Every structure is written in structure tokens, then in C-alpha cells.
Structure 1
């Protein structure tokens, strides 16, 4: 109850007052936030999740208590208990609460440890949990202080407006004004300034030259002799891409067959270049290097920083004996997570424009002289690359195959294929038309059979592979998990996912969000780490069979691949 003065006037509760129902829900959400998710979390990510969830739980408790009180007043409901019952409750509830909190905390800590064991990682230490709890409390307190400050500002504004307006209208005006101001500050100041700071930091990284790398000497790569693109203009990831090109001697040593020097072309996104102009620059580089005379031309859509996975690139080069050209372009230099939050259209535009221009070049060639045109991309790159196609049938018509890696599940064609899967096949590994053209694989073995070991039928060309791990948060992150349970959590958990993982409203979304930040921490084959499994995937797409012996190629790529991002 609010305190009163001797004159009977009600005063607001002191700043240190905390709502009982609010605390109950805050503690509940705090404990739930420690439950396991796809990947083990660092102490600071655990602290952020727990702080956000505790603050949300407190707000929910306060709102529910307010609603219950109003309803009780309307129906004139009063609940009372005897003194003996009240005494028992006062004694028993704290004891039961301590026991429940201790048991749930121990269970969650152990379960997170099992998640780490699943992935071969180390669980959080006791001191890490102390730091996580401290950060959570600090963050929750900060958010609560901000909320109370906004409430106080609303009350004061309502009192001032009440001098000239009716009380109800004054309250509405105060809520609208404070709400609008809060949204403006959150969006224009906090969010956009934060994104600008991240973009500025990313721009500095993009302007740096990778350590130990120099201007390439090969005429078959952008930035090399005769290139139309200056090496410095390629950006950090572009320079990494062209200097990581496979050498013909290494390809020959791994395959035992004669090899050519592969082609890699790339164009950076300068401040004065449009997406169209960057794509035109890539096509000009393809013409310069006579890339359309190669056996395979691969269009790879990059991630937000302009990165191309070297496992995919080298797989193509080794499997074709270097008779290949890989084209990529930079459309941004910010991390994919930032790009997802701020601009989802640019990756799609880049994927669409680059493929369309290269497809037009290939289509102008006589049919008997056309290279095989394949596509690929990882995470945000896969999301953007899919925009080149109207639907799955269009993908079959216009390209000769591809490997999509860690594709976000909200990617339209991915979602349509998953939705059309054979009944009984899981969302983590859908079966589409018995694997005739599209095969979803959680590991290399699933290129020949489904998740439950049942053999596929004939694999017709064009062939497409969707490589996706059940433990990859990039695949399963989706804003819809805030309030709706996804299918992959209604089904039996994937083989590399802790069986204890379950859907929790609001909590699961934030768990997956922080899981994305540590997606590359596990070894290859888990999380967002795809490695040797891409060799047989590309082998099948390029004309081989998924169960061929790729051991020599895998060993060769393993020695030369660069995993820096």
C-alpha cells in the first residue's frame, strides 16, 4: 500500500519499493533464462539474457498484479485466510522458494554443462556464474530504473496537463508524449547511434590490409597484374578471398591429376559505387580473365562483411582441377548480425543483381560452350543469394546446382521447401520429393539418405544441397520464436542438440540471439561451423557422387584452407 501523511494524502512508494508479484515473475524468468539452448554461452551473454528476462518478468508481474487488483475491485472480490494459515504460508513459502530456486539453478547449470559436452566445449566455471549473475542484476536494475523514471515523468506530465485538461485526457496525452519521446530516443539515439558506431568500427577493419598478405601475382585474380580492380579497393575480406586462391600445384598434389590456376574475381563496395556498378565490375573481371571459358563458374553471395567461406571456394577449385571461376562482390562491410537488424534488402539486391548479370553473360554463349553455372552462400550470403530466384523451380531452371550453407529458416525458398517436406521428416532435415533435386543434410552422410537412414531415390541434376546443423543458431533464429514455438522444438531434438532444450516464450529468442554470437566456437560439424562436409556436397553438385572417396581432396583443402573471418 502507498504510504500516507498525517493529512491523509497518498504519497508514491519510495524508490526502493519492489512489487511482490513483480519479484516473483522476475525470479521465475531469471531462473528460466539459465536453461540450455543450442550452444553453451559465455558468462557475459548469460548475464545479458538473464538481465533482460528478469526485467521483462518483473514488468509482466507488475502488470498482471494491476489487472488482478482492478478485476477484484470490479467484482468486489476479497480473499482472506485464517491467522494459522497465514502463519504457515509465511514460514513455508520462503522455505519452498529457496528449495525450488536452488534445485532449478543446479539443474540448469548441469544442463548447460551437458550442452558443452555435446559440442566438446568447456562449461562455465563457478566464478563465471557469479559474474553472470552480477551482470544480470545490474542490467535488470538499470532497466527497472529507466522504467520507473519514465513512469514518474508520465505522472508529472499528467499532473501538469491536468491543470488545463480533464484528468483522463491529461493522462492519455502524457502517455502518448512520453511514449513517443521514448521511442524516438530508443530508435534515433540509442539504436542508430549504436549501429553507426558498429559501422564505423567495421569500416576501419575493412580498410585494413590482412597481415602477411601482399598484392597477388596471379593474373587470374582480382587485384593482380592487369586487374581492373585495385587490390586496396577490395576491402579486408576481398583481399583475403583473392589471396587465398588455390594453387594449381597444390590441387595437382592432392588429386593426382593435372590442374589449372583457378580464377577468383571480386569487387569492393566503394562509397561512390552502387550495387549495379559493383556487379558490373565483377562481370568485367570475369571477361578479363576469360572466366566463361572455364568448366564451372560459381556465383557466391558474401556475408555482411564481404566474407566467402574458403571451404566452399577451395572445394570447387580442387574438385574441378582448377578449371573454375568464382565470382563474389562486397555489398557491405558490417557483420551479418548488424545487417540483419538494419538492412535485409541490400543482401537480396546484391545476390539478385550479381547472378542476373552473370547469368545473362552465360546465356549469350552457344549452349555447347557454356560453363556450368552454380551458386552458393553461407548464412546472410545464402539469404541474399536466394533472392536471385522466384522460387525453387526457377532455381532449377536458371542455375546448374548449388550449396547453401547455414541458411536462415526465414529465407523464403528455404521455408517453402521445408513446408512442402514429406510428412514425418523433421524440420531440421526435410525430405523434399525423395531428394530428387534438393537435399537437406545435417552431415555428409545425409547426402545419400534421410535423417532416419532411409535411402534417397535418384539424384537428378541440377542438384542442390542445404547444409544445416540442428545446433546452428543462424538457421533457427527467427523473431517469431518470441511468442510461438517453432516446429523443430516440437519435434525430437537434433542429434547434436541437448534434449533438455525447450521453447520458452521471450526467453528462447534471446538465447538464440546470443547463440549466434558464439556460433563459430564449436568444432567443425557443430553450430555454425561447416568444414569438410562441404567437399562431398560440392562434389555431388558438380557431377560426382556423394559417396565417392573425397579423402585426398579433403586432406588437401584441410592443409590450405583459411578460416579467419
Structure 2
């Protein structure tokens, strides 16, 4: 099979040299020598012999090995491989227990690849008792092309034995065990590189922290989503950022070889980054009303600090790789990181904002629906997310490594230099997938938002309502929410029955999204409806700005009609059929068309005699508040007073509203605000409004009301990179804010986004306060701010009528749905509806009782 030459070394073991097995004469010169206690062959290239890799026979002073240059047949190559594997295995069995693997035997060889493959610098290195060589790419070793294990620098082409995955084994392992690894920047087979491990530890810590509460209670499903986002974000940032730190360490004088030196240089860089992060955080501590630049600088410091801390632990674990308890230690550290994250939230001292008790009323936890996280399910979801993270980490290493190699081929340089870019690209791909999901949801929700429900398909019979006789906007152009609002218009008899006084038929006009192709067309149609119905001849006129879906608060509009005894007109204009969270991109369009309507109304009012002009009011809820407030952007209080606006009520104004920020100025969220500027009042929560002295309340004409735990006024894009003022340190937080919680980049943003989804889950006929529900507060607030006259007894009657009508209309809508199902299952559907309504009302109702409710005129 091969020519064996045996000789004696000074140390006693034999030296064996045998024929080259290369398939190319270019890389055919090599020899093997046996050194060490185990007499295991050590393969040495003779084409580029260095002092470190010189033949052991030559080092012993007994001469040099004479290589054989001619190529061996293919069959002979296979036989040599089998012979070498058997020899290595037998040597491993003879190895004394506890002997060191480092230096026991190492092989260096240059091989050639198949024809047509471009040349690469590569190397095979075997350290320890293992039956096959492990391949290392020397172009990316970070040490001038030298092997990280033995320092050899051969020149050749990729190894022809199999896949292109490059693997090396660390020096200094225990008991001759091999652990498949790569140098930094390449994929590990069966493991994670240092940067991926740092990201994994950071993700484990974020998993524990994600269980802290936010504004509202959450269900187990919500918690699982939050944990997944927190873990994925921390992992992606940790791997990408630490990849940059690891690249820096690899460029230090001793950063490439051997493993212990690489770990030390990595620890030095990580420790330096940790110290720098601490210094930045102390120098740019959070402040109210701070600039975006300061917030981003602090975010860079805190993020670098976290990544460096994870990197230090990962460096320590890297030194334990290959140890018998190495994997167990790594798993234990990951579990400890998750536990540390959870304990850092101080679970017994934190509470959601909805559980912040009112000192005056002595109550807390007021929500439409209270949700709880099942401990068992929470633990299960945490374990599932952690296991999923392991899979994501391995997949990320594969994807980012492939991208890095492709970028190195296209752009030049080494793949190691492109690894950070590869991880950024991976993160971008995930973000793109998320955006695609949002687009799909957007398309899915558009159709239901534009469809008219069965209970509202009959057009109005009164000319005072859009869609009725003489209307320029046909009923077929109405959306779901516009049809609801118009169908539910009160009649004069209903108002008289509640108020005990004569009443007029109130006017309701609405320009739906499909009524015209653009904002100018919709505004023109609405102004035409105002003229047709002679809306400005009534005693009061209110422009209601709808939410993203087109919803107008019927509690507000019905209260307005009750307290004016029907001598009023209400108008609305739609800009979207999607929920507010998915309609944020249409705010500018909505503001533009609202400004057109307001200008048209003001122009008509100025043309009227002062004594004939009606009271002019504005109302907005949620995104509708932002739309109608932004028409005054940059004008301060001169905006509403300049157009002759008598009063306005805005509830749940979004945090992105610039006009509200102008009015708030530099005040602190910690202090109870005073009335001002002008007749405006901006309470931090309902308790501020309730606690305002009566003399001050009478001054308020423009009220921007909000619940302390409402996520709408608190949700903003800056939650991604900046700690909000309502999450200040210690007790320096406004009412309704979560207590004891900490801000987390991206995760707090997503927590608050989920709170948006849970902020409004009303029970029909039951008015509660909390989240984004203002039904209990709106009637009295309208009475006071708009100065609508009503006795206390009349207000009691109005409150009861509002609840009764809400329940009746919801039952009517759902009953119409059951009527549309096939006859065999209709009875079961109606029975289920009866159970649902019984739960709402707290009393047992059957289908006959529901039919009686539906038969009554709910509108």
C-alpha cells in the first residue's frame, strides 16, 4: 500500500513516513511522523515546512523524511484512508486515561479539488483521538492564513472529501474528545459560534424579562407572542453586534490562534465594550423631553453593554467546549440567564397599569375583560420559545454564513468580514416577512370593514339621515361603520320618551370611504349633505371624527342628541375601513379632508348672521382625535379659537399627535397639570379630571381626556428606541402606568401594541372605565364641556337609555346573523346567542326573550 520507513527517535517512538496520497503532484510532498506517548502518526506537509511543522525526525536530529512525489492510484488512496482510520482508533483505545490531547497528534496536508474549482487556502488539522481530519479554511482564520490549531500555512484547493462545511477542533480539549466547531464567522456543525452563543444567552435573559406586566392584563397567548418577540429581538441583536466585536478581537495581534488566545482577546474586547457601555449609560441617563439623539446614544450604550456581558459569558463557555460537562454547563448557564431575567422584574412588586389603585376611590384593576396568564402554560410557552430559539439560532448561523460567503465572492474580502452584514441581512429578511404578514392582515380586514351587516341593510326612511330620501350618497356606498351609525340615529319620539320634553328629529350626515374617489370628493359630498339637510340651521352642530375603521362613538352622538332634544346635527367623514392600528398611514389624508370640511363649515357660518349661527363642536376618539386635532398643528390655542369653535372633546388622543405635544409643552408627567393653555385641559388620567376643582372645571372648553392605562396615548414609534416618560424610575410615573417595570427596546413597543388590541373589549350594555373604553365618562364630560343643559334625573335616564340601546342593537345584529345560517343549525346558534346575552346581562334569557328584544324598535 505504501512505503513505510521506520527509524528511531531520541525519545524512543518510531517514525513512519509513507507515500503521498494526493491526486495532484503539485501538493504531493508530505510525510508523517509519530511523536508523543501514543505513537500516533502526525502528517506534515513538506511543500511549506516551517519551524513549527518540521518533521519530527528532523527535529530529533535523526535526519529528514524523504517524500515520494508520484501520485498514488485512487484505490490505494481509499485503502490508506481505511488503514489510517483503523490505526487512529486502535491508538485511541491504547491512550492512557486523562492524558492531554493537545499535541498528541496533528495532521497538516495540502490536497487538491476537482477540476474547475477555483483555488482556496485550506488546511486539515487533527488534534486528539479522532479517526478523520477536520478541515479549516485558512483564508478566514484571522491569523495571516495560519491554522488556528497548529500554525501551519499550506497552499492548495478545497478538500475533495465531502461537503464544504469548514470545521476545526479546539486545542487543549479533554480526554481526546472532538467537538465540531468553526473559527469565528463560519458555521459550526452541531454547535453555535461565540457570537451566536452570546445572542442565545441574551435571548434567554430577555425571555425572563418579557414576563413583566405593562398597561393592561394579558392572556397566555399574548404572553407567548411577547416572549417570542423579546427572545428573537435579543438574539438577533446579540449575534449581529457581538459578531462585530468578535471581528475586532480577531484582528488583534494574537486574536487568531490558538483557541485560548482567541478567547482571551475576545474577553478583552468584550470587557472594554462593557466598560464603554456603562460609561455611556451614566453620561446619557434618561431625562424627560430628551432629544432623539441622546436617546439613541444611550440605547447604543445599553445595547453594547448587554451584548458585551453576554459575550464574556460566551467566551468563558467557549473555553469549556469539548469538556465532558461542557454542554451541561452551557445549558445550565442559559437556564440561569432566563431565571435571572425573570427575577430582575421583581414579580411580586410589579403590577399592570390597570391595577394601579385610585387613592380617592380605593380601587384598581378596572378593565372590560380581565385576562390572566396560566402559570403552567406560561412555563410551557417559555420552554417552547427557548427550544425554538435554539433552532432559530442554528438556522441563523446557516443563513448568515451563506450570505457572508456570497458577499465575499461578490464584494471581495473574507467571509469573516462579511459575517456581520450577513446577520444584518438575516434580520432584514425577518423584518420583511413581518411586513408581509401585516400586508396580508391588511388585505384580510379590508373586506369585512367595508361590508354592511344584515341588521343594517335597510336604508333609513328619514330625509334627515344620509342614505334616506333625497340623499346624494346612496346606501350601497356605505361601509359597515357608517351604516351602523346612520341606522342607529335617534327619533324625536325616543328622545322625548327619555328626556320628558318635546324634541326634533336630529340630523346625521356621513360621507363614507366609497362615496367618492378622493378626499376632495368626499368633503364636497359631506358639505352638500349639510346644505341639503339644513344642518347649520339647528341650535348645535358637531363634527365627529371617526376612528380608523370609520366608527363614531354612538354614546357621544346619542348623548348629544338627547341633551339638545334633537335640535342638533352631527356629521362625519370616513378615511379608512381598517382598525386604527392599521390606518396610521392615512392620518395625513384624513386631516386634509377634515380641514376641507371645517373650512367649508366655517365659511358658511361666517355668511350667517351671528345670532343665527349654531354652536360649533368637535369630537374625536382614538385616531379620530389625532385627525381633528392636527388641523390646528402649529397654531396652539389660536387654532380652535380662531375658527370660532365653541368646545371640543377628544378622548384617547394618540401619542403621535403633535398639536397635543404643543399644548403640553415642557410639563412633567409626574405633576398634576393645571388648566391651560387657555381653556384647554390635558389630564394624565381620569382621576386628574375628577380631582379638578369645580371652579376650574367650568373654565374647560377643550378637554383632551384619557385613561391612565389607555395604550393609545402611550403607543408611539419611539418606544422602539427610547424609554417613555410614563416609565420613569421609581414612583415618578403618572396614574395608570405600570409599576416596577422596566423599558426594553422593541419589546415594550410590542407589549404596548398588544395592549392596543386588548384595550377595548366592551360588554354590551355594561359601561366600564379603563383601557380605551370611555363610555362611562363621555355623557357627563359632554354635558360639562359642551355646556349642554340637563337635570340630574334626566342624566340618569340618559345613562340608562344608552346602555339599553347598546345591548338591543348588539343583540339585533347577532340575531340577524343567526337568521342567515341554515335551518338545521339555526336553533343551536340562537340558543348559543341566548347564553351569551345571559352572561352579559347577568340574568337568564331564552330565545323567546331575545326575539322580543329584536322585535322592539332598537333604532
* Structure of greater relative contact order (alpha carbons < 8 Å, 6+ residues apart): 1
How many angstroms does 1:193 deviate by? 7.0
SS at match of 1:279: helix
Residues 311 and 534 in structure 1, CA contact (< 8 A), matched pair in contact too? yes
How many positions carry a matched residue from both structures? 548
1:465 aligns with 703
Match of 2:561 among 307, 317, 324: 317
Question: Higher mean Cα deviation, 317-326 or 178-187?
Answer: 178-187
Describe how 1:528-539 pairs up with structure 2 within 5 A. Answer: 528-539=772-783
Match of 1:389 among 613, 632, 655: 632
1:419 aligns with 665
Residues 353 and 388 in structure 1, CA contact (< 8 A), matched pair in contact too? no
How many angstroms does 1:314 deviate by? 1.3
Match of 1:513 among 722, 733, 753: 753
1:405 aligns with 651
1:52 aligns with 229
2:542 aligns with 298
Give the 3 Å change call, closer, same or farther, for CA 547–9 of structure 1 in structure 2.
farther
2:589 aligns with 346
| Alignment gaps of 5+ in structure 1 | none
1:369 aligns with 612
SS at match of 2:596: helix
Distance 1:159 1:439 in 2: 60
Q: TM-score, normalised by structure 1?
A: 0.84
Q: Is residue 553 from structure 1 mapped to residue 798 from structure 2 by the alignment? A: yes
How many angstroms does 1:229 deviate by? 1.5
2:464 aligns with 220
Distance 1:504 1:222 in 2: 48
How many angstroms does 1:256 deviate by? 2.5
Match of 1:9 among 125, 131, 136: 136
How many angstroms does 1:559 deviate by? 2.0
SS at match of 2:446: helix
Question: Higher mean Cα deviation, 299-308 or 68-77?
Answer: 68-77
Distance 1:70 1:323 in 2: 74
1:486 aligns with 724
Residues 210 and 240 in structure 1, CA contact (< 8 A), matched pair in contact too? no
2:72 aligns with none
1:269 aligns with 513
SS at match of 1:211: helix
Describe how 1:72-471 pairs up with structure 2 within 5 A. Answer: 72=249, 74=252, 101-102=338-339, 105=342, 118-119=365-366, 121-129=370-378, 132-133=381-382, 136-137=385-386, 140=389, 144=393, 147-161=396-410, 166-167=412-413, 191=435, 194-195=438-439, 198-211=442-455, 214-270=458-514, 273-340=517-584, 342-390=585-633, 391=635, 392-398=637-643, 399-421=645-667, 426=671, 430-433=673-676, 436-441=678-683, 446-447=688-689, 449-450=691-692, 457=696, 459-460=698-699, 463-471=701-709
Residues 47 and 135 in structure 1, CA contact (< 8 A), matched pair in contact too? no
Give the 3 Å change call, closer, same or farther, for CA 347–191 of structure 1 in structure 2.
same
SS at match of 2:571: strand
1:22 aligns with 199
Which has more helix, going by share of residues?
1
SS at match of 1:249: helix
1:542 aligns with 786
How many angstroms does 1:254 deviate by? 2.5
Q: Is residue 62 from structure 1 mapped to residue 305 from structure 2 by the alignment? A: no
Give the 3 Å change call, closer, same or farther, for CA 473–383 of structure 1 in structure 2.
same
Residue deviations 1:32-57, cap 9 Å, x none? Answer: 11110001223233222211211121
Residues 36 and 108 in structure 1, CA contact (< 8 A), matched pair in contact too? no
Residue deviations 1:409-464, cap 9 Å, x none? Answer: 2201111112254x6764xx64343x7511234666644644xxx66637447x11
Distance 1:424 1:337 in 2: 25
Residues 669 and 733 in structure 2, CA contact (< 8 A), matched pair in contact too? no
Give the 3 Å change call, closer, same or farther, for CA 409–431 of structure 1 in structure 2.
farther
Residues 47 and 132 in structure 1, CA contact (< 8 A), matched pair in contact too? yes
SS at match of 1:377: strand
SS at match of 1:41: coil
Distance 2:436 2:245 in 1: 38
2:830 aligns with none
Residues 669 and 734 in structure 2, CA contact (< 8 A), matched pair in contact too? no
How many angstroms does 1:328 deviate by? 0.4
How many angstroms does 1:406 deviate by? 0.4
How many angstroms does 1:146 deviate by? 6.2
Residue deviations 1:337-370, cap 9 Å, x none? Answer: 1112x44322222332222222222222111111
Residues 507 and 568 in structure 2, CA contact (< 8 A), matched pair in contact too? yes
